[in-house]
Structure 1
């Protein structure tokens, strides 16, 4: 017992000196970080501040300064990670919470921004000027599809959508969709013996609703419902589709897994999706989206893979390149918003989307899409080109 006491007495000076050195190191780190912060030397602050993260000089004030430096230099993902540390230690830090809101907003993560806004006081909420009616975004898009097939007329697509904040953790997205295309299949001859094609119009009217519940700053649960009313060749079909999924928001990646199921024009459908979004720069200046799907259509399984790459081209201008591989017959895309159930299945598609920020609130987008399709009546392949113009208004 005396031996143990002796060891403790001998160790006390070492413990004291170690604690003193750690305290001095912390004071030095904070002092240098404060100087760099006040001087606006953001890159040097990030470099300096990240060095002592493994030792005892790791404290909220330092994380706050580094988070601000990341935010100012445009690495919003890294900034969010730093402010997370601050809020875990100091939940009442309203400035860190406000910066979390802005970073999510800059990443177009409206649900994440709304979650952070729910913790702000009334005065701060008034300063960020949220819509008093809970409106988040409104958008419209219209497109034309031009098939290289003399038995298919041009197709026309329209969609109007609105996103609303039901509560700080709930966001509801709704869309009303219309699609029309005349399909030429039957022949007849007039009294002079001339041959003509007789067409039937494939018409669809659709309603889509997607609800997102933000569990915390990392996890969200999503659910969607899609109703489709289809008329073709004198037959009417009513289709109902649902989706359940979960998303995880990380420092440089976002992950999502979901399952779709339902009945689509008389066919039982199940689709399993896994998606990964990657932001290597922590912002929208460069990003990738990878999505793998297994589609089970009345027992027939297909594997479908989508890859998109986007980057900032010029000031206020972004471009995104995307391609989808696999049999997309009745394929569901974008959380079930887009349903590829045209009369002829798509075997491959690729396209370019140009985004232009017209103003603080308005985002214009122009999309070109190439599709390789198969004529189900004649078993031949043909090409289809589509152009879609849309605009999104952010409240």
Structure 2
């Protein structure tokens, strides 16, 4: 008889708990609907997060929170909420479309493409994506001004193109050219069989990077960089590769990768970790921290880069960066930029201005100050560089 009473009490308590939980869900759903319809987005976010903390969680609530985050410009947080909706129902058309837009606003082309691939054909057509899979084209032209009587000005040009090979696969390609006259008193040129006072350092380069979206949050990265160098009668063919993985979270993006290969006469390995932090969930404020260990023919160097970017005015962003460490043969931007000039850089800092000219064109002006070491003389000197670039979004 005692056991029957216990079972009856347990059943009664369970029914009351279920009823209470059901009432909590109903109240939460009703309140969220009122806030959503009223467009009270800040209160919608506060209420929704508190409800989830109180174990009241369902896809409709997540969608409304995500939409409120998107409207208020926190695209990172919005993506997290839409992902929760899609994990319950991957066919939710509206959540998928909004996730596409949020990734686009964050310049995450592969994340946007991943979501676009899961939309129907008519919707993808309405997004006006390039029929050839083109994403963007880039142009850069730079001038390097060394404060050294034995170094002439350096010139750098780059043209790049990004395109979508599939909804999960993105390919970036660049062609680059660099030249600089090097003056040095009386060095022997074996080809000319005489002593000369100057030579030109010329480099022609090709770079290709592939990114594959395992999921919206996880990407696998691979790149290859070929460099054809001529200097003092010598010709060198350098081949460099990179393998890495990148994870996109609510406030941060994390990446780990390794560069490897042979650069002129040196065997190179470079291990990198990078953290991008978006405290507001958008590009109005962000930081990038990158730590690298460069092993150059058995010699290790530690290099650290820190950047801070923010939206200063309407259509205008500023980004400040500083790099510490011996940057002799240092590789940056997933292996795109290779700092293998004649003289190694010991310190670097710079400022970049981005200006959104229109819906397609983004202009950028970059200034860099470098402290460099002359490899032929025991002197240091300063170098100032200016680069003008444009990105055209298709």
**Which TM bucket (shorter chain)?**
over 0.9
Aligned length: 386
Following TM superposition, where does structure 1 have runs of at least 4 consecutive aligned residues deviating by more than 6 angstroms? none
Report the equivalent of 1:142. 141
Report the equivalent of 1:44. 43
Q: 1:310 and 1:5 mapped to 2: Cα distance? A: 68
How far 1:165 sits from its partner (Å)? Answer: 0.2
How far 1:187 sits from its partner (Å)? Answer: 5.0
1:181 match: secondary structure: strand
How far 1:344 sits from its partner (Å)? Answer: 0.1
Report the equivalent of 1:194. none
Q: 2:5 and 2:340 mapped to 1: Cα distance? A: 81
Q: 2:338 and 2:330 mapped to 1: Cα distance? A: 6
Q: 2:27 and 2:209 mapped to 1: Cα distance? A: 51
Q: 1:159 and 1:250 mapped to 2: Cα distance? A: 32
Counting only pairs closer than 5 Å after superposition, residues 82-231 of structure 1 correspond to structure 2 as 82-186=81-185, 198-231=197-230
Q: 2:52 and 2:317 mapped to 1: Cα distance? A: 35
Q: Please say if residues 26 and 56 of structure 1, whose CA atoms lie closer than 8 Å, have aligned partners that are also in contact.
A: no
Q: 1:380 and 1:98 mapped to 2: Cα distance? A: 58
Per-residue CA shift, 1:105-162, capped at 9, x if unaligned?
A: 1001101110111100011101111100000110000000000000000000000000
Report the equivalent of 2:246. 247
**Bigger shift: residues 31-40 or 221-230:** 31-40
Q: 1:54 and 1:203 mapped to 2: Cα distance? A: 61
How far 1:56 sits from its partner (Å)? Answer: 4.3
CA RMSD in angstroms comes to 1.1
Q: 1:5 and 1:343 mapped to 2: Cα distance? A: 89
How far 1:44 sits from its partner (Å)? Answer: 0.8
Report the equivalent of 1:319. 318
Q: 1:271 and 1:142 mapped to 2: Cα distance? A: 27
2:78 match: secondary structure: helix
Q: Please say if residues 22 and 56 of structure 1, whose CA atoms lie closer than 8 Å, have aligned partners that are also in contact.
A: no
2:288 match: secondary structure: strand
How far 1:249 sits from its partner (Å)? Answer: 0.7
How far 1:21 sits from its partner (Å)? Answer: 1.3
Q: 1:54 and 1:347 mapped to 2: Cα distance? A: 50
Report the equivalent of 1:300. 299
- CA distance 1:222–1:4, shift in 2 (3 Å): farther
TM-score by length of 2: 0.96
Report the equivalent of 1:272. 271
Q: 1:142 and 1:125 mapped to 2: Cα distance? A: 35
2:200 match: secondary structure: strand
Structure 2: which 5+ residue stretches go unaligned? 188-195
How far 1:3 sits from its partner (Å)? Answer: 4.2
Counting only pairs closer than 5 Å after superposition, residues 19-30 of structure 1 correspond to structure 2 as 19-30=18-29
How far 1:352 sits from its partner (Å)? Answer: 0.2
Report the equivalent of 1:390. 389
The answer on 1:340 being equivalent to 2:339 is yes
Q: Please say if residues 253 and 277 of structure 1, whose CA atoms lie closer than 8 Å, have aligned partners that are also in contact.
A: yes
Per-residue CA shift, 1:160-204, capped at 9, x if unaligned?
A: 00001000110000000000000001359xxxxxxxx93211000
Q: 1:390 and 1:16 mapped to 2: Cα distance? A: 66
Structure 1: which 5+ residue stretches go unaligned? 189-196
Q: 2:223 and 2:7 mapped to 1: Cα distance? A: 63
TM-score by length of 1: 0.96
1:103 match: secondary structure: helix
Q: 1:318 and 1:5 mapped to 2: Cα distance? A: 71
Report the equivalent of 2:357. 358
